[in-house]
Amino acid sequence: MSLAANDRVVDYDVRPPQKQLTASDALSMLLSWQSGGVKLEFGYFRSGGGVLQTGTAKILRAKPGLLTLDTEGSRLAVGLTNARFEFGNLGLLTPDFRAVHDIEGLSIILGNHDWVCLSSDASEGDLLSLAKQVDPFP
């Protein structure tokens, strides 16, 4: 598959689709990470392409309708009402469409179309370094 970007054509592998999760399945995954004290890489991305926050976090609270992350110095509360959940390769694109960053994790697509990415497999700093490339307002 090809994608034209700034008069260049970039080839990238076709990725398998993410697995759709029910809210119950996603909550089970979140609760498992919480009970295990798993340190997660996370990113909160705006639907228009900006980045609100990235870093490492542990799940403080996960319940139907609400996720609270302890983000090392602050807390991030995420309303899950009308959210959709997917798991798999996130395939995050840089703004110029020249690079794809594959990070396996849980995508939470919020009711306002923003999304939160949580990954237990990402190396520390993966989403932070990606955010520096994605954020149009450095």
Give the residue numbers spanning the domain of 123: 16-134
- DSSP letters, 123-136, are PTTHHHHHHHHH-S
Q: 36-57 pLDDT, tens per residue?
A: 999 998 888 887 766 677 788 9
How many domains in the chain? 1
- DSSP letters, 18-75, are PEEE-HHHHHHHHHHHHHTT--EEEEEE-TTS-EEEEEEEEEEEEETTEEEEE-SSSE
Query: What is the total residue count of the chain?
Result: 138
Residue 107 inside a domain? The answer is: yes
Q: Residue 17, Cβ neighbours under 10 Å: how many? A: 9
Q: 92-137 pLDDT, tens per residue?
A: 655 556 666 677 889 999 998 888 989 887 655 555 555 545 444 4
Residue 5 inside a domain? The answer is: no
Residue 48 inside a domain? The answer is: yes
